[in-house]
Amino acid sequence: MDRLANKIALVTGGASGLGKGIAQRFVDEGATTFITDVAEQGPAVAESLGASFLNQDVRSEDEWQQVIAEIVDQHGRLDVVVNNAGIFSSCPVDETPLEDWQRVMDVNLTGVFLGCKYAVRHMKQNPGGPSGSIVNLSSVVGLRGQLGGSAYSASKGGVRLLTKTVALENAKVGIRCNSIHPGVIETPILDPLFAASEDPAAMRAGIEQSLPIGYMGEPARDIGNTALFLASDESVYITGAELVVDGGMTIGLP
């Protein structure tokens, strides 16, 4: 229960879904954990987890500076940053409005860039010398294309290579950066898809049958535990890696 003992961690988009699952595992394993979000339920979720809440729009450079400065002012260091906040988009490239493309890029890619930028700056100033772990949430569609997912897949592919560059730039100073690539995980992001289906149960069954493992993933168990490993000292020799957590989704054609 102490794999993250004495570590100070920040998880963006922590009010629901993958972020909530990650934050729960961090709290369980002893990290002093902050979640940020723009969602109204953020403070209540943080309280239920045993975490602290800060309001943050990850597209804002000013808010990134304020959030990390507040955490460091309170605790004197920053050990883990999980860039999880993101939005989904599904639209063919020739039908995608420019403003929708830009909104996805601003949240999913620019938000991660800013998180890496200010995490590295502060992790370099940690007492005892530079140290820290940055975990970026990409996707299986950051590894391959997706029908109707031009903006989303482009943003997640960008996260994948941004991660490797940040890892390369900071490897010798002891700051690690890795990406997680989830497949189909049971989160509220799927709710609109099921709601729009004429037969949600059949849709769910179809998705699960297409996965080699036969079922959808769970936020805390599958993504939370992966982030926990990357945040902990157990993965101290891992940087620039991409961990695919997809129930076998990408290992072969359905």
Give CA separation, 103 vs 88, 142, 146, 219, 221, in Å.
10, 17, 18, 25, 30
155: helix, strand or coil: helix
- Give the full edge-to-edge strand order of the sheet including 132-137: 52-55, 32-37, 8-12, 80-83, 132-137, 175-182, 242-245
Residue 152 is among the residues annotated as catalytic for this protein: yes
Give CA separation, 50 vs 35, 42, 46, 198, in Å.
10, 12, 6, 39
What is the largest distance, in Å, between two alpha-carbon atoms of the chain?
58
The residue from 118, 152, 215, 237 that is catalytic is 152
CA distance 79 to 4: 10
Which positions are annotated as active-site residues? 152
